[in-house]
Amino acid sequence: MISELEMEKAESELELGLGLSLGGGTAAKIGKPGGGGAWGERGRLLTAKDFPSVGSKRAADSASHAGASPPRSSQVVGWPPIGSHRMNSLAAKSAREEEGEAGKKKVKDDETKDVNKKVQVGFIKVNMDGVAIGRKVDLNAHSSYENLAQTLEDMFFRGNPGTIGLTGQFTKPLRLLDGSSEFVLTYEDKEGDWMLVGDVPWRMFITSVKRLRVMKTSEANGLAARHQESNERQRK
Amino acid sequence: MNYFPDEVIEHVFDFVTSHKDRHSISLVCKSWFKIERYSRQNVFIGNCYAINPERLLRRFPCFKSLTLKGKPHFADFNLVPHGWGGFVQPWIEALARSRVGLEELRLKRMVVTDESLELLSRSFVNFKSLVLVSCEGFSTDGLASIASNCRHLQDLDLQENEIDDHRGQWLSCFPETYTSLVTLNFACLEGETNLVALERLVARSPNLRSLKLNRAVPLDALARLMACAPQIVDLGVGSYEDEQDSESCLKLQAAIRKCTSLRSLSGFLEAAPHCLSAFHPVCHNLTSLNLSYAAEIHGSHLIKLIEHCKKLQRIGDKGLEVVASTCKELQELRVFPTDLQGGGNTAVTEDGLVAISAGCPKLHSILYFCQQMTNAALITVAKNCPNFIRFRLCILEPHKPDHVTSQPLDEGFGAIVQACKNLKRLSVSGLLTDQVFLYIGMYATELEMLSIAFAGDTDKGMLYVLNGCKKMRKLEIRDSPFGDAALLADVNKYETMRSLWMSSCEVTLGGCKRLARKAPWLNVEIINENDNNRMEENGYEGRQKVDKLYLYRTVVGTRVDAPPFVWIL
DSSP of B75-138, one letter per residue?
GGGT-S-TT---B-HHHHHHHHHS-----EEEEES-B--HHHHHHHHHH-TT--EEEEES-EEE
Spell out which residues of chain A touch residue B531, defining contact as CB-CB under 8 Å: 52-53
A22 touches B: beta carbon within 8 Å: yes
Contact present, B277 and B246 (Cβ < 8 Å): no
Beta strands B548-553 and B522-527 are antiparallel
CA–CA distance, B132 with B215 (Å, rounded to integer): 19
- In the DSSP assignment, the letter for residue B344 is G
* Chain B interface mutation, best of A1, A21, A22, highest count of B Cβ atoms under 10 Å: A22
Residue B139 near chain A (CB below 8 Å): yes
| pLDDT class of A222 with cuts at 50, 70, 90 | low
| A187 has pLDDT over 50 | yes
- Better-predicted residue by pLDDT, B387 or A20: B387
Contact B342 A22 (CB under 8 A): yes
Residue A71 sits at the chain B interface (C-beta within 8 Å):
yes
CB-based contact B267:B236 (threshold 8 Å)? yes
By Cβ distance, the residue of A22, A90, A162 closest to B563 is: A162
| Own/partner long-range contacts of B512-520 (Cβ < 8 Å, ≥24 apart) | B512/B487, B512/B546, B512/B549, B512/B569, B513/B542, B513/B569, B514/B484, B514/B488, B515/B487, B515/B488, B515/B491, B515/B551, B515/B569, B516/B569, B518/B488, B518/B491, B519/B491, B519/B492, B519/B494, B519/B495
Q: What residue of B is the nearest CA neighbor of A116?
A: B341
The Cα–Cα gap between A42 and A22 comes to 11
The phi, psi pair for A149, rounded to 5°, reads -60, -40
**Around Cβ B300, how many Cβ atoms within 10 Å?**
10
Instruction: Judge: A160–B137 Cβ closer than 8 Å, yes or no.
Output: no
Contacts of B396 in chain A (CB under 8 A): 20, 22, 39, 73, 80
Interface test with A, best of B78, B143, B212 (most A CBs within 10 A): B78
Q: What is the pLDDT along chain B (569 residues), one digit of tens a residue?
A: 567 888 899 899 999 989 989 999 999 999 999 999 999 999 999 999 999 999 999 999 999 999 999 999 999 998 999 999 999 999 999 999 998 999 999 999 999 999 999 999 999 999 999 999 999 999 999 999 999 999 999 999 999 999 998 877 899 999 999 999 999 999 999 888 899 999 999 999 999 999 999 988 887 888 899 999 999 999 998 876 655 567 777 888 889 999 999 988 888 776 656 667 788 888 888 888 787 776 656 666 666 777 777 666 655 434 677 777 777 888 888 887 765 333 334 567 888 899 889 988 889 999 998 888 999 999 999 999 999 999 999 998 899 999 999 999 999 999 999 999 999 999 999 999 999 999 999 999 999 999 999 999 999 999 999 999 999 999 999 999 999 999 999 999 999 999 999 999 999 999 999 999 999 999 999 998 765 445 555 556 678 889 999 999 999 999 999 998 899 98
Contact B414, B435 (CB under 8 A): yes
Looking at residue A1, its pLDDT comes to 39
Contact assignment for A91 to B371 by CB distance below 8 Å: no
Q: What angle do CA B406, B344, B391 make, to 5 degrees?
A: 55
Backbone angles phi, psi at B437, to 5 degrees: -75, -30
C-alpha B65, offset from chain centre: 18
Question: Which B residues in the span 314-373 are in contact with A, Cβ-Cβ below 8 Å?
Answer: 336-349, 369-372
Closest CA to A143 of A234, A9, A21, A22: A9
Cβ contact B399–A70 (<8 Å): yes
Reply yes or no on whether the pLDDT at A162 is more than 80.
no
CB nearest A23 (choices: B137, B336, B346): B346
A74-105 per-position pLDDT tens digit? 557 788 898 877 777 766 666 666 665 554 44
On whether the CB atoms of residues B141 and B169 are closer than 8 A, the answer is no
Least Cα separation, residue A87 to chain B (angstroms): 9
The answer to whether the Cβ–Cβ distance between B296 and A56 falls below 8 Å is no
CB of B449 closer than 8 Å to CB of B425:
yes
Provide, as residue numbers in chain A, all residues whose Cβ is less than 8 Å from the Cβ of B83: 160-163
Inspect the interface and report whether the beta carbons of A136 and B162 lie closer than 8 Å: yes
CB within 8 A of B243, min separation 6: which ones?
Answer: B218, B219, B220, B249, B275
Of B79, B342, B530, nearest to A21 by CB-CB distance is: B342
Q: Which of residues 29-48 of A touch B (CB under 8 A)?
A: 38-40, 47-48
> Which of A51, A73, A116 should be substituted to probe chain B, the one whose Cβ sees the most B Cβ atoms within 10 Å?
A73
pLDDT, greater one: A182 or B91: B91
Q: Identify whether the C-beta of residue B431 lies closer than 8 Å to the C-beta of residue B409.
A: yes
pLDDT score of B285: 83
Nearest-angstrom CA–CA distance, A120 and A207:
7
Task: From chain B, pick out residues whose CB is under 8 angstroms from the CB of A69.
Answer: none
A210 near B CB under 8 A: no
Interface of A with B in 134-163 (CB under 8 A): 134-136, 160-163
Write out residues 64-93 of B within 8 Å (CB-CB) of A: 74, 76-79, 81-85, 87
DSSP state of B278: G
Cis bond before residue B206 (omega within 30° of 0): no
State residue B168's pLDDT score.
72
Give, in order, the Cα–Cα distances in Å from B217 to each of B161, B190, B222, B239, B278.
Answer: 18, 11, 7, 6, 17
Q: Say how many residues make up chain A.
A: 236
A81 closest CB neighbour out of B77, B83, B347: B77
Counting every residue written for chain B, the total comes to 569
- Do the chains contact at B339 and A86, CB–CB below 8 Å? no
Domain ranges of chain A: 123-219
Residues 252-281 of B with CB under 8 A from A: 269
Cα A97 to Cα A119: distance, rounded to the nearest angstrom: 10
CATH no., domain A123-219 = 3.10.20.90
B141: closest chain A residue by CA: A132
Mutation site, B397, B452, B505, B534, interface A, largest A CB count within 10 A: B397
Give the pLDDT confidence score for residue A62 in this predicted structure.
37
The model's pTM is 0.81
Best CA proximity match to B115, nearest among B134, B80, B91, B81: B91
Q: Å from A23 to nearest chain B CA?
A: 4
Q: ipTM of the assembly?
A: 0.82
User: Which carries the bigger pLDDT value, residue A192 or residue A26?
Assistant: A192
**Distances from the Cα of B339 to the Cαs of A88, B137, B374, in angstroms?**
13, 30, 22
Contact residues, chain A, for B504 at CB < 8 Å: 55-58
CA B31 to chain centroid? 36
Q: What are phi and psi of A168, to 5 degrees?
A: -75, -165
Alpha carbon of B395: minimum distance to chain A alpha carbons (Å): 9
